[in-house]
Structure 1
Amino acid sequence: MNSAVRLIPAIACSLLLTAGCATPSTVNAPASRPSDVATQANATRAQIWVLDSGWHTGLILSRAELGPTLTRLLQPARDAHYLMFGWGNRRFYMASNPTFGMDIAALFPSQSVVLVEGCATAPRACYSPEVQLQTVSVTASGLERLDAYLAASLQTDAQGRPEPLAPGPDPGSEFYASGLSYDAFHTCNTWTAEALHFAGVPVSYHGLIFADQLWRQLP
């Protein structure tokens, strides 16, 4: 699968040109509390994957672990045992041949997009060796909050349906409109860190811009 690798240049220039504190996301998902992990230490835990292609990060969930909200919204293909969720600047992320001008424009508040792509086999087999994958464990309630976070990242129409924009770069992938704002201080890596934070994983998204800032925090 080549999509993760092609994402490396999608934000590289933007990130190299910027530094500062990430702004909180406008996602309307319930915040995690420190007590969640402690009070549910013996609860059933689910495994999710964090993907790092060098500059871009995303999340991979088992289709069986999708909550009712995402299952209803996305209705994933039967042969997709896993789904990868990535978020980024709409013009740059969707461009077959992104330009430097698009990259500069992404430094400023701009429209965003969610890429959802299916994987029929184990996640490691879906990506080239240079793409890093790490598993993290979340509680059942953490998985519900993650489901809510991902669903809230999808822009919906008047009937509450997600808005597909175009096929993604690989078979079985799709770009969906997102109502969140992308800028130099709220990147795909900020978004991924927020998702993990809401799921109860002990990571901080404040001031997080680069992929390695997130990777160093993973348990």
Structure 2
Amino acid sequence: MNRIRHQAFEWGRALCVVLVIACQAGGNARAADKEPPLRPGAPSKTIFVASNGWHSAIFVPRNELTPDSLPEITAFPEARYLGFGWGDAEFFPARDPGFTTLLSAAFLPTPAVLHVTGLRVHPEAAYPKDEVIALKISHAGFRNLIAYLDGTFARADRRPGKPVAPGLDPHSYFYRAKGEFHLFNTCNSWTARGLAAAGVPIDADDIVRAEGLMASLRPLSANSFK
């Protein structure tokens, strides 16, 4: 991560802290239908949520997906896991985002992109400095989550969407996404709504910052890694 991008992230974090404290407003898009929480002893599937302190992403095993459920998996034939993170269409892909881009992303509803990463290793191994939390969800919850991810892609039909930019990680791409990004509808809000749809018992309407998301997930984790 270069110096300018790191500085922009710090500006964004500071703005979020100040404004979230001052304005406990929601403004998130309506959450998807929720699956009931996993029952003790019920069959489950394991997913992962990773955060670097400001951004979050959901990781799922690629071998649990099919092109019918998520057409874009064909772009990642050798991946063991696929990661999905949502964000502002200008700020998120920018290698050197400026302060004007940051302000626009924070205060104005802006178009969104979905960052999809193909990992050949476990998320913990791929992101050793990030917090990675494992969550067990029901089979129905997993189907709901995949439907949520699939529904985020802004495509006209069931053909795989075309990447709009190379991703930030090896084997990653940005795709056009549904929704509008702003200060109270962030990547973490998007992650929380997907988890809630999967049956993870969190209040997605209250999630804006990464710390709030991860704090809600830590007591629920099957395993967590630092």
TM-score by length of 1: 0.86
Residue type of the alignment partner of 1:9: F
How many correspondences in the alignment?
Answer: 210
Aligned to 1:85: 84
Residue type of the alignment partner of 2:180: S
Contact 1:116 1:175 (8 Å CA) reproduced: yes
CA RMSD of aligned residues (A): 2.4
The percent of aligned pairs where both chains have the same amino acid is: 29
Aligned to 1:209: 208
Aligned to 1:134: 133
Secondary structure of 1:84's match?
strand
> For structure 1, which segment, 73-82 or 198-207, has the greater mean C-alpha deviation from structure 2 after superposition?
73-82
Residue type of the alignment partner of 1:32: K
Aligned to 1:23: 27
Take 1:169 and 1:181, find their aligned partners in 2: how far apart are those partners? 21
Take 1:24 and 1:185, find their aligned partners in 2: how far apart are those partners? 6
Mapping of 1:78-157 within 5 angstroms? 78-107=77-106, 108-128=108-128, 130-157=129-156
Take 1:140 and 1:176, find their aligned partners in 2: how far apart are those partners? 27
Take 2:38 and 2:119, find their aligned partners in 1: how far apart are those partners? 29
Does structure 1 residue 9 correspond to structure 2 residue 1?
Answer: no
Take 1:163 and 1:17, find their aligned partners in 2: how far apart are those partners? 37
> For structure 1, which segment, 204-213 or 188-197, has the greater mean C-alpha deviation from structure 2 after superposition?
204-213
Deviation at 1:68, TM superposition (A): 5.0
Deviation at 1:147, TM superposition (A): 0.3
Take 1:199 and 1:56, find their aligned partners in 2: how far apart are those partners? 20
Take 1:143 and 1:158, find their aligned partners in 2: how far apart are those partners? 22
Take 2:100 and 2:30, find their aligned partners in 1: how far apart are those partners? 26
Q: Deviations over 1:70-127 (max 9, x none)?
A: 4423314222111111111110001010011011001211001100011101221111
Q: Which runs of 5+ in 1 are unaligned?
A: none
Deviation at 1:42, TM superposition (A): 4.2
Task: Classify 1:58/1:47 alpha carbon distance in 2 versus 1 (closer, same or farther; 3 Å).
Answer: same
Deviation at 1:43, TM superposition (A): 3.6
Runs of 4 or more, structure 1, over 3 Å off, are 67-71, 158-161
Residue type of the alignment partner of 1:112: A
Task: Classify 1:59/1:33 alpha carbon distance in 2 versus 1 (closer, same or farther; 3 Å).
Answer: closer
Take 2:159 and 2:122, find their aligned partners in 1: how far apart are those partners? 31
